[in-house]
Chains A and B, each alone.
Chain A
Amino acid sequence: MVSPKHDREWSGFICSWSHLFAFLSIHIFSRIFLQHRISNELILFLQFSILDAFNDLYTSYVIFCILLMSVVIVVINIFIVEFHAVVPSIPCSRLALISKIIHPQQVIHSVAHAVMGMLVAWCAAIMTKGKFLLLSVPCTNTESAPDADLHVCLNEYHLFLLLLGAFMGYSYSLRYLVNNMNYLPFPIIQQYKYLRFRRSLPLLAKHSCVESLYMVRNFCAAYYFFGYIPRTWIITTMNLQTDSKLPLLDTVAGLLDLSLLYHSWLCGLFLLMTWYLAWMLFRIFATEAHHFPVQATFVEEADQCLPKILNSNPPSLLKFLALQDLMFLSQYSSVRRQEVFSLSQPGGHPHNWASISRDCLSLLNDLTQKLIIHQEAAAANGRLKQPPVGDPRQPPTSPGAAAQENLFQSPRSNLIPRAHMPSLVKSSLLPLKTSPVSDLGSNVGSPFSPFPHKSGLIDLSSPWHGSIQSPHIMRRGPKLWTSSSDIPWTSSPYETRPMIPVAKSANEVVPPSHFYIWLQNKKEQLKSFLAKRVLIMYFFSKHPEASIQALFCDTQMHIWALEGLSHLVAASFTEDRYGVVQTTLPAILNTLLTLQEVVDKHFKLPHVSSKPPRTSGNLADTSYKTLRFALRASLKTAIYRITTTFGEHLNAVQVSPEHKKRLQQFLEFKE
């Protein structure tokens, strides 16, 4: 397999890189900040610090510290590599978030980070020297001299620093989860790694400084209230004493020690900087564009070429990289485009193009279906929210009506549309799944053969008819809702009418017994009872924005498929010598136009904002929150790219009359 090798290669790379940086940063950092005061004279300080650094390098403590730090960085890197995701997981309700936090995997993550935070803090304490060096110090009591040797006191500063490290590690881990920092965002433009690193360095430094400040504040508050617990524990287990001369640190006076706060802040800064650095380097290395060959020159490489990877089910990062590469090759490289359009040597089949276009189209069709399912669920929800007073025929007084309506909300009834789905999905995907050779063979003679208007007569072997009867259009028959109406489902009470026959028909299929109705009734009552309890609603209520984000969380893939496909089609106008693209053009157009229709409809749903939210300069990338807007824009651009390139020639392509109308609007720039 290709993928594990790739991953390992990367992690190796990254580890070595971040090691280098960590090593350098540790030492410079420790020398410059942790030991010396800022009040030192600058030049003197620089000279001495360099000399000092070399002298200190030989002390065993420091070498041990550096080794320990390297181990910490390696472990951090392992966690980063293991937890990375190209598709963020977005919790839709607060309960989901809590369950994510107490998930064993996340608990391991948090505990490991807390331990490593403690280790980093210990290293920082060692390098700071001074009063932070050791956990136990001889007491400075004013008692007699022989007594002082016997008594060993607890150095609370050291303990404070260690606990701070653990606290920071834990809160880092929590933030990592809540802010989806394991998500790998792909940049909108390609740049060399060094430039990307340089660009994000100031933001990283600023962010670490501020975050360290906040964490120290939070920790001080926590220590003020609960600091006595670990202290007593340590004192009792290690049989230490408290130094009565020094103030306790869980008092206001003890916490207002500026040197302590400053060192805590530096320690936090050190921790966050090294960890964020490793994290950022991984992001930069992992999202770098990778070059996949279109055709394998040797048999061994056959697994690594682009159509194969798109076709198989590799790790998602690899699939994302392949799609990104497809987008780049379609846009920038005419040589590689030629390979895509080429025919296979014996036989003359356009395997490359057929495979690439088929995979892209199936990706896009999947998205279309996902959106349709979501829209239907949303429409049902929206309808229920609407008080159905506007419908004079069906006053919903009987409990049976409520039960009927409930059919569409309860998860069980969701099975009904799903049960219908597979047959439709199959019918739409079936021709695409059949071997491309036979498809193309059957249509080589007339790529634009006349289109049979009765859907029952569709020749399933032709590649484009499948997507004409896309699930969206097919569903119209039973669903009875018109796609031409631009009114969203909930906006008018008359929209409720078409749904009622459906509900009835669902009832006809399973005639409800009295027990069932009673059960539903009870369920409804329970629900309304629970809904009144604020706390439960607080945890269970779904955030609409979050669920929409979750719906579009992997849309980066579809955006690249769209761009790659449209660029290839546009380039084929001049570069495709054998006309291999022409045969799939109707299928592509149908898929794009259907998706366009569905996406348009999605943005007209209630609760869907039409503008991206303002993003602040945050370190954690939140680009997954705005992917749907990017999809909408690039879908339109993709269709325009095809229509402007082909112009009037598109009139010769066989598409359904409705799509023809849509195409005409695109040709006139009226969409």
Chain B
Amino acid sequence: MNDKRMCSLALFPPPPAPGDITLYEYNNALVSELGYENLPLTFQGQLENLPALTIPKETLKTHSRLEHSTKPAFIHHRESLWKRCINAWRDIGVAGVLEELANAEEESDLDEETNEQSWVDSAKELVLRWMKTGSRCTLTLCCWVSSLHGSFFPHLSLQKEDMIAKFSQAVDWASCPIRAFAWHPHTSKFAVALLDDSIRVYNANSATVPILKHRLQRNVASMAWKPLCASILAVACHSCVLVWHLDPTSLSTRPSSGCAQVLSHPGHSPITSLAWAPSGGLLLSASPVDTAMLVWDVSTENCIQLQWFGGGGVTYLAWSSEGSKVLAATPSAVFRVWEVQMWTCEKWPTIKGPCRTGCWSPDGSRLLFTVEGESVIYTLSFLEYSGEQKGKVGGSKTASIVADLSETTFETLFGEERIGGEVHSMVWDPSGERLAVIIKGSCDSPKNQTIIAVFRTRNSPVFELLPCGFLRGEDGAQPQLVVFHPCFKKGALLTVCWSTGKISHIPFFFVTAQFPSFTSEQSPLVPLGNRSSAREQPLFSEL
């Protein structure tokens, strides 16, 4: 914090008192009240009766069946080795056969009593032994190679669930009742993915709540509604992408699994991130295991692989809202920015760790991102997109730090509070005026909690980032996910999913700078932004 012009947590107003719940922002100040759940009457009409709901963990049925094969239901039956090998070949492939051979036991124990082993039996045994040693050697070699591979890319040695939990945008993906959340881009409709692998779709204008369940819908990491479409939802699952075609006029609460399109590609699982092209049509999917991200033409189920080795996979995708660029984060200390006309990319190595999250300004000219292991927000600016520079991303040479979120102590009336740490996820509202950031507290100090910080932002003529305040939920509720409503007319509307299973909508009432009819910008705070050069750090190398 040697640089005074950089926005830091010390400039924030102190967090709300414990027990207070942040309700809304008005006149540039966050209003929180003690134990008061609803908005004041004057503001209630503004929200178009959005459903605020609570889905407690206890009501969700956890998986009754963990294994998907029917094997455990039957009595163990000893088959001959060849049969087992053939079965393993059918189920798993070559690896299964090798495993089966390596674990093969001597089968001649029945014949041992006869004591008259013919030469056929002994030859059989010899062959079996050879095959056993051979397959064992192959298996160890494979293990060794994969561990070597894993030492380059440590995330590959994780279990699939752990991998999703590590790269998901939800703070506590593994145990929180809400795993993913998605607003429809044009209407007041949202989908919530729950711990029991079901998805519920809530609509402000209808009481029907469709519940989506599918055999392949497991470990939902992310969801996205198709833009320029009434009701198509893409779901990133454990092994595939499911695209649900929901009928918006239907009153059914359980759409059949026939409404879902299954998009799968070998070697592309688990899928942790999805992004639709803002012009409709194309869907991007990414998996931390696959070095290629896939561009799907959903209507025809064709896909094109965008292969780019290095990085070991793709963990997070963010398509800029005007549709010209895509951020693709990898599990290693590098991320890429693709331009979507010719699908070329620029590579940006980071210093400390992998890119954790990122978001685009509404005009696609600025990218904010955070890096694991650092408690700062970086920015990258891009050329204004005109479509004439074909195949060029046009990023600036260096990324600069715009906010320092390292741990800060606030002296409040109720004792001191420590806030700050790494950023887990970050969202920018569609008008480009508010930025919400989930700051993950460090594990060692129990006083430091996960909290949401809100910034006020301005993108033109110069980029400015001003503190706005901290958001607090009920007692003991940790923020899990934050999403901005894509078309809230009176400012911005932040939807927060809490670890208790509560989903609350927090409106920020302001007049957007695009319509400067009346300016009520009486900022109580001194505007502090990074005017020109806020500690420029050489962060990346141009290709």
Contact = CB atoms under 8 A, between A and B. Distances in A.
A494 B471 CA distance: 63
B280 A641 contact: yes
Given A334-B386, A626-B300, A670-B249, A190 B341 contact: yes
B299 interface: yes
Interface of B: 184, 186-187, 228-231, 248-249, 261, 279-282, 295, 297-302, 304-305, 307, 324, 340-344, 386-388, 391
A635 to B, nearest CB: 10
A335 interface: yes
Nearest to B340: A189
Contact of B305 (A199, A611, A612, A636): A199
A555 B305 CA distance: 24
A587 to B, nearest CB: 21
Nearest to A329: B387
A670 B248 contact: yes
Contacts of A567: 279
Contact of B299 (A195, A334, A634, A644): A634
The prevalent SS among residues of B at the interface is loop
A456 to B, nearest CB: 36
Contacts of A331: 279
B302 A626 contact: yes
A671 B228 contact: no
A151 interface: no
Given A189-B295, A637-B280, A335 B300 contact: no
Given A333-B387, A641-B228, A669-B187, A611 B261 contact: yes
A629 B261 contact: no
Contact of A188 (B186, B282, B344): B282
Contacts of B186: 644, 669
A612 B279 contact: no
Nearest to B264: A614
A633 B281 CA distance: 8
Interface string A599-633: 00000000000011011000000010011011011
15 contacts: A187-B304, A191-B343, A333-B386, A333-B387, A333-B388, A626-B299, A626-B300, A626-B301, A630-B297, A634-B280, A637-B279, A637-B280, A640-B229, A641-B279, A669-B230
A332 interface: yes
Contacts of A641: 228, 279-280
A58 interface: no
A190 B343 contact: yes
A192 interface: yes
Contact of B343 (A189, A612, A623, A640): A189
Contacts of B230: 640, 669-671
Nearest to A634: B281
Contacts, number: 91
Nearest to A640: B228
B228 A644 contact: yes
Contacts of A669: 184, 186-187, 230-231, 248
Contacts of A332: 324, 341, 387
A51 B340 CA distance: 46
B282 A189 contact: yes
A644 to B, nearest CB: 6
B298 A633 contact: yes
Nearest to A336: B387
Task: Give the 10 A-B residue pairs with the shortest CB-CB distance, closest first.
Answer: A633-B299, A626-B300, A637-B280, A332-B387, A333-B387, A640-B228, A188-B297, A629-B299, A669-B230, A637-B228
A190 B302 contact: no
A189 B297 CA distance: 9
A190 B342 CA distance: 5
Given A334-B386, A334-B387, A630-B297, A188 B302 contact: yes
Contacts of A633: 280-281, 298-299
B388 A630 contact: no
Contacts of A627: 300
A426 B288 CA distance: 57
Interface of A: 187-192, 195, 199, 328, 331-336, 567, 611-612, 614-615, 623, 626-627, 629-630, 632-634, 636-637, 640-641, 644, 669-671
Nearest to A614: B301
A623 B387 contact: no
A596 to B, nearest CB: 13
Contacts of A191: 342-343
B339 to A, nearest CB: 10
A645 to B, nearest CB: 10
B282 A615 contact: no
A192 B305 contact: no
A615 B249 contact: no
A191 B261 CA distance: 27
Given A334-B386, A612-B300, A626-B300, A637 B281 contact: yes
A334 to B, nearest CB: 6
A627 B343 CA distance: 23
Contacts of A636: 229
Contact of A335 (B305, B340, B387, B391): B387
A451 to B, nearest CB: 27
Contact of A629 (B184, B295, B300, B387): B300
A199 B388 contact: no
Nearest to B301: A612
Contacts of A614: 301
Contacts of B305: 199
Contact of A192 (B187, B307, B344, B387): B344
B92 to A, nearest CB: 21
B307 A199 contact: yes
A188 B539 CA distance: 34
Contacts of B231: 669
A623 B297 CA distance: 11
A612 B249 CA distance: 24
A206 to B, nearest CB: 13
Contacts of A328: 341
B299 A335 contact: no
A619 B297 CA distance: 18
Given A199-B305, A335-B386, A637-B280, 11 more contacts: A188-B282, A189-B304, A192-B391, A328-B341, A332-B341, A612-B301, A614-B301, A632-B299, A636-B229, A637-B229, A641-B280
A501 B533 CA distance: 82
Contacts of B297: 188, 630
A644 B298 CA distance: 21
A335 B384 CA distance: 13
Given A192-B344, A332-B341, A640 B280 contact: yes
A151 to B, nearest CB: 48
A615 B280 contact: no
B324 to A, nearest CB: 8
Nearest to B189: A669
B341 to A, nearest CB: 5
A671 B186 CA distance: 13
Nearest to A191: B343
Contacts of B281: 633-634, 637
A623 B307 contact: no
A184 to B, nearest CB: 15
A636 B230 CA distance: 9
Contacts of B229: 636-637, 640
A333 B342 CA distance: 13
A612 B299 contact: yes
Contacts of B344: 192
Contacts of A611: 261
B148 to A, nearest CB: 22
A669 B342 CA distance: 32
B229 to A, nearest CB: 6
A669 B297 CA distance: 22
A377 to B, nearest CB: 26
A634 B279 CA distance: 10
Contacts of B184: 669
A623 B228 contact: no
Contacts of B280: 633-634, 637, 640-641
B227 to A, nearest CB: 8
A192 B300 contact: no
